[in-house]
Every structure is written in C-alpha cells, then in structure tokens.
Structure 1
C-alpha cells in the first residue's frame, strides 16, 4: 500500500514539473512558480533470504546415515553454506583434529577460528567450501543430503621406518573418504588383488567392494591422516605382530563373553513399545556381585583433556562390557559434569545435575548433586569457587588440581590464576603467562579467575580451601554425572529445566544411553528408534520403567551412544565409531 501511494505521488509531481529550459513552462504573472520535487531514488531490490533447510537423512558414498545437517541456499546442488556435525566430519569424511587444528587433505585451520552452531545435540561446522575444493559432490534429493566422492585408485603402498614403522602410506590418484562404520574402516578406494594380498600380510583383513575398501576391525585401531599434492591417506597403528583382527562376531558366541553369560550376565536385544513408537533396546547387566563383576568409570590416565574411542578406554580396564558415559565438550575435548574415581574428583559436578554414585559394594545411588567450594584469605571473608576440574566455563573463580593433568592452559579469552601450595599463595599468573601454560604441582591447587573477576589473593597470603557436596552421593568412591535424572524410587522424576538443560535439548529425539538399577540388579541400556524415530527423554524414562528399573539416569547420547562387548563395538547411536571422553564398564572382581 505504501509503494502504491509513493508511485501516485511521484506521478502527480511529474505532471506539474518539467525541465527548467523549456520556454513553455516559464511562470506567468498570475500563476505562482512551481518548485520541482527531487527525483525519487530507484526502488531497492527485493531482499530474499536464502532458505535454511535442516534434516536427519544423509547418504555418504552410498552409506545411509542419520545425522543432523543444515543447508543454506536456493541451489539444491551447490549450497551457500553447509553445516555438518564435527563428529560426522571425523567419523565419515576423514577430517582429523590435531593440536587444536582441523585437517583434511592438506587444509588446516584452528578449530577455535571456525564458525560453530548447534545441530540437534551436536556441534556443527560450516564446510561447504572444504568439500567443494576436494571434489565432493553435494546435492539435495528431496529431504536427503547426499555427499559423494568418486572412488580413487590405490596406486601403491609404502611402510614407514624407524619411529614410523607402524605407518602405512596409501598413494592414490585422487582424494578418498575415510569412514568408521562400527568396528570397520571404509576407504573410498579401489585396490588390486595383489594389493589386497599385501594388506592381508599386514593382518588388516581387507574386503574390496565396488567402490570401497573395507579393513575389518580397524575403525578404532588405526589413526588416519589425509594429504594432498600428491593425494595420500596415511594409516598409523599398523602392527604386524600379535593376532589378526577378526570380523565382529555375535556377542553371545564370543568366547570372551560366554563365561560371563554362563554365570548369569544378561546381554540381549529387544524391542519395547512406548505409546505407538517401537524402540530397539540393547540391555546388559544383572546381579554383578553374584556374577563376579563390578562397575567402574572408564577414564583416561593422567589428564582430562582429550577423547578416545570407547574400546581404547575399555581395554586397559579389562572391561567385559562398556558404554559411553557423561557429557563433554567436543570442541575443547573436556568433561562437562561429575566424574569421580576411587575417591578423586577428576571433574566436579555442574548445575545440580543427575548423577549415579557407588562404593565397593556396587549398591548404586541416584540423585542430583552440587559441589560447594570456598576459599578464605588470611582468615577473612570466604569466597565461592564455582567449579572443580571442569570444562564448563563461566565467569567467576574455578579450581584445578593435578587430577586435571600436569598442565593447565586457558579455556577462555582472558584468565588469571593463583597457585596455592601448603596453605599459601606461592605464585600469581597474569594473562600472558597463563597462555603459555601453567604446571600444576601434585600438592597444588590452581585458582583461575575468568570474565574480569579479580583474583582474591596475592603471593604470600594464607589461603584455606574447603569443599562439600550437597548430599552423601559426593562421598561415594565413584560418581558419574549425566542428566536428566529419569527415575528415582520407582517414580519418573524427569525435570531437565531444573538441571540446566535447554528446551531444545529436552525436546530432542535421539539415541540414548542409560544406567539404572531395578529388577535383577544393575543395568546398562542403549536405545534407538526401531522404525526410524529415536526416543525422547520421556519415552526413554517410560521404556526404562517397562524394563523394571527403579532408578535411572540419562547419560550422553546421540552420536556418542556406544556399546562395546569384549572389546568389540556392537551398537552405535548413529552408525559410526565416535570418540568420547569417559565411559562405564563391567570389569572382573
């Protein structure tokens, strides 16, 4: 309506005015002169925002997957932007994270400098340009995102020497995708019979398909690196000694698990229906003490920064069964919740979230937990410390001990710190020195100030540090945090908002991992949709109730959902072998 009025007004003005040098328009004595209006500017072009399409259906080199993605742009074969989860880039395209850099076929960029957004329950990165420059064909087919890279020919193989003797370099005539599917490593290459024979000599068990070379059982054994000019894929961890990898067996027939099944361990897959939604459930557990097993956190030794494949966490602990554990920051590779092992806080609880806690008798306790810490300087006013050994970064004061690792490096832009030893401040670290990294002594506590919070003390000051948890859960030898708490005392107690979870997270349908106890003992569950639609948190709680659980805690889920039996992966949340921060395992007494 406004544009029509402007057009009418302009037309009226043009009828009353013409050029000043037209003699016919000279003003007459009885007619006042007309003052011309300024010419109206050209109308602005219409701004059309490129559509944003989101989905879950994905095909990569013919492999059907479910993973969040977001497409920006009108062209269905060339996006302006393509956002994919970091976990998907690593597990299904061959991207590598190394020393804070993201690498792929010779291109390297600091992760901290890459734009990020949330995709479902994952961290998403924009990679349209990365994929296009390597030659990946990107297109939308209805609601399915398709990524295709023509298979490369394997031209030769070279073994490393000396310190790189476990390295195998594959020389290619083009780039190739590297996918970790369950326990198997899929390479988008074509090989000859002679090359496959050589791979068998290296005990890699190759299977050549039309456009993909599969190395059985190598998804979590080998590290990979892609290089360009010339094109190469590097496999690290190839060892000719020891037994050959074997194709995954049915867990019930695996000799390493059969003895525990005879003792009463339950390992089963079943389908439960919640409302009208069928859910596939992998359930394992039982009366652990009678079986001869106990439950333990699965953690990395000596440091809290970093991620591992779940078999890499389970095998050193000799875990018979393992599942993924609590939440973590996938970019920073740091824990986001309670993690306590044998009486030591590796990471403190956050946001009063749900935890499971237990001691030597394996009697599990469930509830919500907060850790309160205080710092008193020279006997004066007490100051609160927000978090302990945590990757949850907020303004205020946080505390780090040697359980965090030998070196602390800043987790936010501007930080300062104090080192406390023997009840006194021994050193102060300004922003420049803390960026270089700070050694945490075995008897030291590092108090870190973030977001402009002033340091509460100076070198030489007497400092007393104290801590207590809000319930006896924090006094148990082992604690693992997750959330939300699903069940307690036979009742569904789901209240994600009270535990600091966002509405978007609470509304998600995703693969789930659960630890609980109830009829028959202690249980570990992994749940996925049996007909395409994954469970919500409420549906997960209702399924746990159907299965006889009295107490249940939701753990990290989505692509992190993983079950490992006797060192072999038997279930993944989204089909790939993910890296996780910690886990839970059943180990022999």
Structure 2
C-alpha cells in the first residue's frame, strides 16, 4: 500500500518572522513556476531557501509581487534587499536568486499576516485571511477624480486597463450593506464606478471618458485603504533598483529643452526612459552579442526572433536589441563580432561599440574593410563580410554565416577558397536557388556584377587576406556591435546621419529608441530605451542624444529602434507590452554566468 501524502503547509506569521511547518513530505521541492493565490492560478516562479539554523523562507519572483499583490518597489541601493511598500511605511524584503542568477526573488514574510501556504508539486498555494471592502468613496478633485476603497485589512490587489475601462481586482468580499450597482454620477473624468463581487474577489470597474493611467497609493492608517487617482497630468516616479551586484534597473522621466517653433509650443518636452546600468568591472557580469540562431546551427546567421526568446536560448539574464537587419531576408546588415569571431561585417562607415573582459570599451564610427591579394599580386577590395547588405563587388562568407550559402542576387559567381587557395568556381542562378557548402577551413567569395572575377580568381590561384580598422583601436576588442548613428562623443552631440549613409530624414523621425552609452565611470555602460510619455510624442535622434546626456552619458550610440526597441531583464520585458514584440536579428546580452568564448575561426 502506498503511503498517503499531503501538501507541505506553512503558516507565515509576520509578528515573529518565522515559518512553521505542520507537515512535510519526504522530499520538499526547492522551487517551482506555478502560484495559486486564493485559488486563482498564476504563472510565477518561487523557491524555498534555508539559512543555517533558521526555518525555511519562501521567495517569489518580484514581478509577481508587483502584479499579483500590488507591492510597490522603491529605490534600493543594496542588491541583497529590496526596499518596498505595501500598505505600510517603507520596509525591506530579502533578495534571493536561483542557481543560474537569472531570476530575482523576494521574501514573502514582510507581506504575510497569518497567510497560509502549501507546496504541492510544482505549485505554491497561498491563502490570505478573509477581507471585506467596507466602503467605496468618490470625490472630484481640481486635477481629476479620486476613488477610495476602504478595507478591513491588508489584502492582495491588482489593476489593469483596457482603453477607458480600469479594473481593480481586490482579494476581498463586499460588505453586506454596500451597494454594488453602478454609481453613474459623473466626475471630471470618471463616468461610472461599479462593484462586481466574484466570490472572495471583488472587481471595482471604473469607466472614464478618456484613457488615462490610474495612480494608486496604499495607506494603512487609520485603516488600510486603496486610493486611486484619475488624472491627466500624472508623471510616474523615478525608480532606481540595485537589481544585482553591478547591475541597476532605472526608470526615469527626463525633461529636455524644446526648441519652440511657435510661442504656444512648450519650452520643455518629457520622455520616458527605461535603462540598465551595467558595471563590466563586476566579476560576475559579462556582456556578449547574441543572435537569433544558436551556435552551430545550420541556419547560421539566418533568422529573426524576439529578444526574450534569444535571451532564453543564450541563458542570459537580460538584453537590449542591437544592430540593424534586413527583415525580408532575415539577415544582419551591420557588424557583429563575438569572442574575436566575425559573425558579420559592415559595408558602411557607421557607429559601433566594442568592449573586452576588463571593462574597456570604445564607441565611435567604425570603418572596417577587407582586402585579398592574389598570387599574381592583384589587390581586390571586398565589399562585405557575412552580410545581408548586398552591393556590386566581391563579398566574403565564412562558416559562421552558416553551413552553406544560397545566392542573394541573380547570376552571382561563387568562388570557394580552402586554406589559401581557390578550389572551385560555380555560376549561380536565381535568388535563393541552390546552395554551396562553406568550408570550415576557408570561405566563399561571392562576386556580384563583377564579371572580371572569373579570370582574377581561377581555380588554383592563391589568395591572402587582410583586415583594416579605422580607428585602429577597434582591432584589439573581441566583442563589437555596429549600428548608428553615433549620438555623443565626449559628452558632445555628434549626430550626423549623412556621414553614416542613413537615408535623408532618418535623424528627425519620431520613434521608440534603443541606445547604449558609456559613462564617466570606467567600465559602466547604460543600455537604454527612450519612448514617449503618456500623451506625448516619441523622440527623434537629437532628442535621444539630449536625453542620454542628462542621464550622464559620455559616448553614445543609437541602436535599431521603432518596433525593434526592446529591453529585457530577469524574465520581463521592461519597456513595452509583450504583445507588441517584433522579432529582431541580434542583441547585446548581459550574462551572470557567461558562455565560454569560442575560438577564432
């Protein structure tokens, strides 16, 4: 007969800050990725940690605390504890990471007033005490409207919004004497407030006459209550969190001067900034380029995917989208160098960032070129290296491009080189018709609209190659990403899209922006996205440069933007709704435990 088993049960008592186990199976799961709050299922990571001589503590992923319980994160300067607020004065919660260091968890104890928890397989079940909504009050304010929800005790809550409808879900029942019918008395912005009981949950639905972001505040005295302000002039608070040693998460509203075209134009303009500050001198942090296909994939550099998928495949902790690419061909068109391997070169003089393991870095305009010399001393300048950007001339493709090459244009001449010698010539036909293997001990030269290559590179001809960098400081850096335009150099705006061969008007387009920048502190980088504030306009490149200056940037580089702009950390997209993610080709990733460096091909 099999022994009966039951879930591991804990009672969390904040008054004495202990976990008391009343039953335990033979093996206690250390972690899981499912949470049930009062019977409501969530996807959320959790883990159990025990300090020597102390009872075990349950930690949950921090974004579940903010989204599931309504916890408000506050500025925190220490990586091992997080300052926050939940119906209280600021308090601290201890921080833990899983074994990979990729996911951040906070201790549940500061929030739990006699909560009961059960661990059942992969799931953490949380049961909170019965709570009552005592009253729901409304008032007009000079700036808009206010809704106050009075509670019998602290309880989980969450808020969501779809257009002009704001839903506040509270883990509480409605008091017997409280009306649940719609309160349709018009406010300044609010049209109606309705209570919709759902068992031990209540949905407070607020309809407005215009879409605005609700502002919530939790108060504890004289009794717990939620204060929800509906106002058009809301500016989110700045927030800086020491997420891990050497890694900060930053949210800012940055205000810069606005050149007035008419007297009615505002003198300043605001933008929303989400950023990560990375200290490459920290021994546990490394930065690497990543791309849509993993190492040794037969697809090589072909393909697009979202930044979260790339991060998961690479087992990184976070990333920002990086260089430009051809969305139709699904190929890179800018420079990518990782661990001294050239994955893709650049055909244009454009901005780039390079860095090494010691925290040294360089942001500047990069002029990268390759040249081959034949056995009869003929010098031939190559146009591209492993690039989806095609033009007249001879380009080079190595095995990092993929196991094979298929024509990108019509009637290409394909020249196979092994070692230092031409071993074969093939005449290509239509685009993407046929393929030729790229040797691991050589490369393929692709001649486009260059008929003389047939006689210049016959079978048996020896060839030698040479690479050149301007400025030559780029030569010594093992990692490099090209993008552009260059925005700042030595804290001065140096934006010039024409020099970097961008289309006319690219500088002045308004779009979501991604950028990377150095600071005055050696080894520290800022990975930032810059976007419109609610009701505002997206930034152009000059505005992006000015915003980065206010953040303390010294040298700064624009990365691919628009729908590509994505900043990711610890399992979460930080700067946009996950439903709006566009696939990209490559990114700059942050590793807590970096992958091994690959040898140069």
Q: Partners of 1:204 and 1:569 in 2: how far apart?
A: 20
Q: Partners of 1:257 and 1:555 in 2: how far apart?
A: 27
Q: Is the 8 A contact 2:394 2:450 kept in 1?
A: no
Q: Partners of 2:270 and 2:349 in 1: how far apart?
A: 32
Aligned-partner SS, 1:290? coil
Q: Partners of 1:453 and 1:474 in 2: how far apart?
A: 33
- Which residue matches 1:372? 369
- Out of 93, 101, 104, the residue aligned to residue 257 of structure 1 is 104
Which stretch shows the higher mean deviation, 375-384 or 405-414? 375-384
- Which residue matches 1:84? none
**Superimposed CA distance per residue, residues 47-101 of structure 1 (whole angstroms, 9 cap, x where no aligned partner):** xxxxxxxxxxxxxxxxxxxxxxxxxxxxxxxxxxxxxxxxxxxxxxxxxxxxxxx
1:472, CA displacement in angstroms? 2.0
Q: Partners of 2:501 and 2:451 in 1: how far apart?
A: 23
- Which residue matches 1:454? 452
Q: Is the 8 A contact 1:374 1:382 kept in 2?
A: yes
Which stretch shows the higher mean deviation, 352-361 or 370-379? 370-379
Equivalent residue runs for 1:22-41 within 5 Å:
none
Q: Partners of 2:245 and 2:462 in 1: how far apart?
A: 56
1:379, CA displacement in angstroms? 2.8
- Which residue matches 1:587? 591
1:264, CA displacement in angstroms? 5.1
Q: Is the 8 A contact 2:246 2:285 kept in 1?
A: no
Q: Structure 2 vs 1, CA of residues 321 and 574 (structure 1 numbering), >3 Å: closer, same or farther?
A: closer
Aligned-partner SS, 1:369? strand
- Out of 407, 410, 413, the residue aligned to residue 404 of structure 2 is 407
1:469, CA displacement in angstroms? 1.7
Q: Partners of 1:376 and 1:289 in 2: how far apart?
A: 41
**Superimposed CA distance per residue, residues 385-432 of structure 1 (whole angstroms, 9 cap, x where no aligned partner):** 111001111011100000111010111122111001121110101124
**Superimposed CA distance per residue, residues 223-255 of structure 1 (whole angstroms, 9 cap, x where no aligned partner):** xxxxxxxxxxxxxxxxxxxxxx99866596896
- Which residue matches 2:420? 423
1:574, CA displacement in angstroms? 9.6
Matched, 1:272 2:254: yes
Q: Partners of 2:465 and 2:577 in 1: how far apart?
A: 42
**Superimposed CA distance per residue, residues 507-552 of structure 1 (whole angstroms, 9 cap, x where no aligned partner):** 2110000111114521110110113310000000000000001011
- Which residue matches 1:469? 469
Which stretch shows the higher mean deviation, 496-505 or 310-319? 310-319
Matched, 1:489 2:485: no
Q: Partners of 2:555 and 2:64 in 1: how far apart?
A: 33
1:453, CA displacement in angstroms? 4.1
1:382, CA displacement in angstroms? 0.7
Q: Partners of 1:267 and 1:313 in 2: how far apart?
A: 20
Which stretch shows the higher mean deviation, 253-262 or 279-288? 253-262
Q: TM-score, normalised by structure 1?
A: 0.56
Q: Is the 8 A contact 1:513 1:527 kept in 2?
A: yes
Q: Structure 2 vs 1, CA of residues 316 and 428 (structure 1 numbering), >3 Å: closer, same or farther?
A: same
Q: Is the 8 A contact 1:326 1:337 kept in 2?
A: yes
Matched, 1:546 2:547: no
Q: Is the 8 A contact 2:323 2:559 kept in 1?
A: yes
Q: Is the 8 A contact 2:410 2:429 kept in 1?
A: no
Q: Is the 8 A contact 2:513 2:565 kept in 1?
A: yes
Which stretch shows the higher mean deviation, 401-410 or 568-577? 568-577
1:204, CA displacement in angstroms? 13
Aligned-partner SS, 1:354? strand
Larger radius of gyration: 1
- Which residue matches 2:285? 293
Q: Partners of 1:311 and 1:527 in 2: how far apart?
A: 19
Equivalent residue runs for 1:102-113 within 5 Å:
none
- Out of 308, 320, 324, the residue aligned to residue 321 of structure 2 is 324
Q: Partners of 1:446 and 1:554 in 2: how far apart?
A: 32
- Which residue matches 2:381? 384
Q: Structure 2 vs 1, CA of residues 258 and 423 (structure 1 numbering), >3 Å: closer, same or farther?
A: same
Aligned-partner SS, 1:308? coil
Q: Partners of 2:579 and 2:361 in 1: how far apart?
A: 30
Q: Structure 2 vs 1, CA of residues 454 and 545 (structure 1 numbering), >3 Å: closer, same or farther?
A: same
1:480, CA displacement in angstroms? 0.4
Q: Give unpaired runs (5+ residues) of structure 1.
A: 1-201, 206-213, 218-244
Which stretch shows the higher mean deviation, 517-526 or 331-340? 517-526
Q: Is the 8 A contact 2:331 2:388 kept in 1?
A: yes
Give the RMSD, CA atoms, in angstroms.
2.9
- Which residue matches 1:231? none
Q: Structure 2 vs 1, CA of residues 490 and 464 (structure 1 numbering), >3 Å: closer, same or farther?
A: same
Q: Partners of 1:422 and 1:452 in 2: how far apart?
A: 23
Q: Give unpaired runs (5+ residues) of structure 2.
A: 1-32, 45-60, 68-72, 74-81, 83-94, 97-102, 107-241, 258-267, 594-601
Q: Is the 8 A contact 2:280 2:358 kept in 1?
A: no
Equivalent residue runs for 1:40-51 within 5 Å:
none
- Which residue matches 1:129? none
Q: Is the 8 A contact 1:357 1:474 kept in 2?
A: no
Q: Is the 8 A contact 2:416 2:445 kept in 1?
A: yes
Which stretch shows the higher mean deviation, 422-431 or 513-522? 513-522
Q: Partners of 2:332 and 2:532 in 1: how far apart?
A: 27
Q: Partners of 1:527 and 1:249 in 2: how far apart?
A: 26
Aligned-partner SS, 2:303? coil
Q: Partners of 1:318 and 1:537 in 2: how far apart?
A: 32
**Superimposed CA distance per residue, residues 191-249 of structure 1 (whole angstroms, 9 cap, x where no aligned partner):** xxxxxxxxxxx9999xxxxxxxx9989xxxxxxxxxxxxxxxxxxxxxxxxxxx99866
Q: Partners of 1:333 and 1:261 in 2: how far apart?
A: 34
Q: How many residues align?
A: 354
1:322, CA displacement in angstroms? 1.0
Matched, 1:525 2:528: yes
Equivalent residue runs for 1:283-362 within 5 Å:
283-290=275-282, 292-299=284-291, 300-301=293-294, 302=296, 303-362=300-359
- Which residue matches 1:91? none
Q: Is the 8 A contact 1:562 1:573 kept in 2?
A: no
Aligned-partner SS, 2:555? strand
1:294, CA displacement in angstroms? 1.8
1:309, CA displacement in angstroms? 1.4
Q: Partners of 1:438 and 1:549 in 2: how far apart?
A: 46
Q: Structure 2 vs 1, CA of residues 457 and 560 (structure 1 numbering), >3 Å: closer, same or farther?
A: same
- Which residue matches 1:101? none
Q: Partners of 2:319 and 2:380 in 1: how far apart?
A: 40
Q: Is the 8 A contact 2:276 2:526 kept in 1?
A: yes
Q: Partners of 1:588 and 1:315 in 2: how far apart?
A: 13
Q: TM-score, normalised by structure 2?
A: 0.55
**Superimposed CA distance per residue, residues 270-292 of structure 1 (whole angstroms, 9 cap, x where no aligned partner):** 10012222100001114332373
Q: Partners of 2:480 and 2:435 in 1: how far apart?
A: 29
Q: Partners of 2:64 and 2:390 in 1: how far apart?
A: 40
Q: Is the 8 A contact 2:280 2:357 kept in 1?
A: no
Q: Is the 8 A contact 1:528 1:573 kept in 2?
A: no
Q: Structure 2 vs 1, CA of residues 288 and 463 (structure 1 numbering), >3 Å: closer, same or farther?
A: closer
